[in-house]
Amino acid sequence: MATKEMRRTTLSEMKDRYIGQVGTPDRDSYEYELKMEVLGKMIKSARKERNMTQEQLGKLIGVQKSQISKLESSANSATIDTIMKVFKALKADINFHVKLEDDFVKLA
C-alpha cells in the first residue's frame, strides 16, 4: 500500500492563494483590517489591566463609551490622535514605525 505524503502549506502561501499577493489591493486591505483589529484588542487589554471601564476611559479622553467600544472592536474609524490619547490615558507607550521606501522613520 503506497502512502501519499501530505503537502504542507504555510499561512503566507494560503494568504497569497486565497486573499491575493502582497501589494495587491485585496491583500493590503486584509492586512490593514488585521492590524486594526489587533490594535483594538491591545487597547482593550491595556484598559482591563488598568481596571478601567469603557466609560471611564471615554471620560478621560472626552469621548462616549460607545466610541471606546467601537475602537476596541476595530480601530478602523479612529484617528491617530484618538489612539494616542487612549494610550496616554492608559499610561501605555505606543510606537509607530513608518517606512518611506527604504528608510524607516520612528515616532514614539
- pLDDT for res 80: 84
Residues 6+ apart with CB under 8 A from 90: 43, 46, 47, 50, 52, 57
Mean pLDDT score, 61-81: 88
43-69 confidence digits (pLDDT tens):
999 999 999 999 999 999 999 999 999
Q: 65 in a domain, yes or no? A: yes
d(CA 9, CA 50): 40
Please give the residue range of the domain that contains residue 78: 11-107
- pLDDT for res 104: 55
**pTM for this entry:** 0.72
- pLDDT for res 98: 67
Question: Which amino acid makes up residue 99?
Answer: K
Q: 1 in a domain, yes or no? A: no
**CATH at residue 94:** 1.10.260.40
Cell 471615554, located at residue: 58
| pLDDT over 90 (residue 105) | no
The crossing angle, in degrees rounded to 10, of helices 65-73 and 25-49 is 130
Sign for the CA dihedral angle at 65, 69, 75, 76 comes to: negative
Q: 5 in a domain, yes or no? A: no
Mean pLDDT score, 60-79: 88
| pLDDT over 70 (residue 24) | yes
Q: Per the structure block, which three cell numbers stand in for 75?
A: 480601530
At 101, is the pLDDT very low, low, confident or very high (cuts 50, 70, 90)? Answer: low
